[in-house]
Amino acid sequence: MNLPSNIPVFASIYLSDIQGAPVYSPDGSRLGTLRDLLILPQESPRVAAALVRTPQGSQLLDWEGFSVTDEDRKLRVTCRSAKPHVAGAEGLVALARQVLDQQIVDLDGRKLVRVNDIRLAFLSTGCFPVAVDVGVAGLLRRLGVVDVTNAALQVLGRSVPGRLIKWDDIGVLARDRGDVKLAVSAAKLNTLHPSDLSDIVEEMDVRTRQAVFQSLDAGQAADVLEAMEDEAQARVVEELPLEKAADVLEQMPSDEVADILDDLKQDKAEELLEEMDKETSSEVRELMEYEEGTVGSLMSADFTAFAADSTAEQALAELRRQKPEPDAIYTLFVTDTAGLLRGSLALPDLVLAPPEAPLSKLMDKRPKSVHDTDKLAALTKLISKYSLLSVPVVDKDKRLVGCIVIDDVVYRMLRSRRGRL
């Protein structure tokens, strides 16, 4: 065991407290300097080996032969038996080299932070990392000035802020050439709002960002991608494996997919269109044909339409089956057998209508609509004049081809003001 008699059970220290400390043999002679601790990356990760720099070179020694004692408020590292770690470093994670200074998601602060130090607990069964310090205290501790700084701040009744995140709340997301990328587990990432997570993901390096998206299912990844800025969206899609990127795009509104693909190189966009299912791919291709600044370039092909002879009960049953996005049912549309727009219906009117009432009796028979080739100015004028939440889009033959929700119009206006269009 590595627990000496003069350190109580549950005693804890920081990695910076012993990193670089002299390592002594039982007779008091100096063996070398402690450079790093290596853990087994399991559910309860345990320190398995120590990297010690000796006059003969660096040696990876089994941690079972080590003890850490507190002598006059100074930690002393003793190696009772310099037994090599027989399994080597394969499969182990080096705390100082691979975890310190890595990025991690702070769920409470909803931001990306850096691992400044690692808290270690000494139990009867071994030494375990129990938390990472992402606060200023961790950084100052590594610089060796935390005590001096705290003493100075005590005059003001303050102390150096520290922030610990439990080791259980993080996990290894990706490895590349020996580097370990850390973030909270996928289950905990899901507790963040997509907009918060998108801000965090945009700050990550490429491989960590890829790992986060790979850890999310297609629907969750689509929500995050949808909340990102245009340039970041295109960058993420280019970084993801082709199959994953196509799966994510299939979960997004077709108009947003068209906008993203317009920002990619033509060859990459074509590869993604070929990988996506045919129906979605066909919708996106049609939207990409429209000129920028026209209604068609902003509309979505995801809309809800019913036959005029459908009853309110049948329409509600179909909505339950389809489970469309909330903004896709602000307004429901009624078409004839040729797909021509015949009327529109607000969702509250449908919900409150008698179950047997036909939509032809409930609908507005003179719906406000725009043509797919109209300029966006015509659309904003219509929405403003009639306070519409969504507008049907028709082609030259009055056939319903899409709809535009007010959310997309407002977002486009905000982007335009920021000079993004």
CA-CA-CA-CA dihedral for 387, 392, 393, 397, to nearest 10? -130
**Residue 127 φ then ψ, to 5°:** -110, 130
pLDDT at position 189: 67
pLDDT at position 356: 95
Quote the CA–CA distance of 31 and 58 in Å, as a whole number: 11
Are the CB atoms for 274 and 244 separated by under 8 Å?
no
* Domain positions in the chain: 1-169, 185-289, 297-417
Token pair for 168: 């259980």
* Cβ neighbours for 78, distance < 8 A, ≥ 6 positions apart: 4, 23, 24, 25, 26, 66, 67, 68, 69
pLDDT at position 184: 54
pLDDT at position 238: 93
Is 3.10.580.10 the CATH number for 297-417? Answer: yes
Mean pLDDT per 10-residue run, the chain (421 residues)? 43 88 91 92 83 92 89 84 78 88 70 84 87 82 73 66 75 48 58 80 80 84 89 91 94 89 92 93 90 87 89 94 83 92 92 94 92 90 86 92 83 55 41
Kindly report the CATH class assigned to 185-289: mainly alpha
pLDDT at position 9: 40
